[in-house]
């Protein structure tokens, strides 16, 4: 299966990987600007998100991304990953180091990271709400947890819509087949910008700060004092400028 995706523009490739609260629409604020800046931009929906159905056989999201790159004839690319998408970006970069030129990671997860008590408590509360059939409550829990204090109602409405759709698709499934590949972060040779939000869970701030010591490529750490977990939705223009500056270095 080739996962649902969009491609626009000409030039060096940039692939956008969404968080597990959203789908590829989370990049609406950056998509056109990247195309106009001279990049061939790809965005996709992981399985169970957006237009992508749940899988009916074993797979990994990193494997799907690699298959899509092959399908599109992309030999090298920069990866921009938000949250879970950042974790997948690291898996891709470790699996095929020569294919990834740069990593822009926005509040990224990290393969092998053990969740804090705070993050486990959030997950347990989400599970309780879903098991009770309170999808609306689980959606609002995610909206409040993942958006920072400066996020406006438009951003909240967008996350609400994308998260509700993901829950509806995923809750309809009877079996889950996703796996994560074994990852050696020391194989990641791409240059990296690791961004964290000051209002995010401590897990993601710690991951961003630690990445320079975990990967082989040069890594720069930046914490945004205004941001929560989804800075690209909270301040789209500021994150667009940040990405263009990094990609253009």
| pTM recorded for the entire structure | 0.97
Q: Closest Cα partner for 2 from 64, 58, 75, 77?
A: 64
d(CA 247, CA 32): 15
Q: Crossing angle for the helix pair 153-171 and 135-146, nearest 10 degrees?
A: 130
Residue 215 near residue 186 (C-beta atoms within 8 A): yes
Q: What percent of the chain shows pLDDT beyond 90? A: 93
pLDDT at 182: 85
| pLDDT band, residue 209 (cuts 50/70/90) | very high
pLDDT at 184: 94
Domain-wise residue ranges, the chain: 5-247
pLDDT at 80: 98
5-247: what fold? Rossmann fold (3.40.50)
pLDDT at 193: 98
Helix %, strand %, coil % for the chain, to 5? Answer: 45, 15, 35
pLDDT at 178: 81
How confident is the prediction for the chain on average, in pLDDT?
96
Distances (CA, A) of 123 to 74, 114, 140: 36, 13, 13
pLDDT at 28: 98
């Amino acid at each position: 299966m080739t996962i649902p995706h969009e491609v626009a523009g000409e030039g060096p490739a940039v692939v956008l990987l969404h968080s597990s609260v959203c789908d590829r629409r989370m990049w609406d604020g950056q998509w056109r600007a990247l195309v106009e800046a001279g990049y061939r931009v790809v965005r996709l929906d992981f399985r169970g998100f957006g237009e992508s159905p749940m899988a009916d056989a074993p797979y990994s999201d990193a494997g799907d991304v690699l298959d899509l790159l092959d399908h599109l004839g992309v030999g090298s690319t920069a990866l921009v990953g938000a949250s879970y998408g950042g974790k997948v970006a690291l898996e891709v970069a470790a699996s095929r180091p020569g294919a990834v030129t740069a990593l822009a990671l926005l509040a990224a997860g990290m393969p092998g990271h053990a969740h804090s008590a705070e993050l486990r408590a959030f997950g347990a509360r989400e599970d309780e709400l879903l098991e009770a059939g309170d999808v609306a409550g689980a959606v609002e829990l995610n909206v409040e947890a993942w958006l920072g204090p400066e996020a406006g109602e438009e951003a909240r409405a967008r996350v609400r819509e994308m998260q509700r759709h993901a829950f509806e698709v995923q809750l309809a499934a009877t079996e889950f087949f996703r796996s994560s590949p074994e990852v050696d972060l020391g194989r990641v040779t791409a240059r990296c910008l690791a961004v964290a939000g000051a209002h995010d869970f401590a897990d993601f701030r710690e991951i961003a700060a630690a990445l320079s010591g975990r990967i082989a490529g040069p890594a720069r750490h930046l914490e945004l004092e205004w941001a929560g977990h989804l800075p690209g939705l909270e301040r789209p223009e500021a994150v667009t400028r940040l990405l263009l500056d990094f990609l253009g270095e």
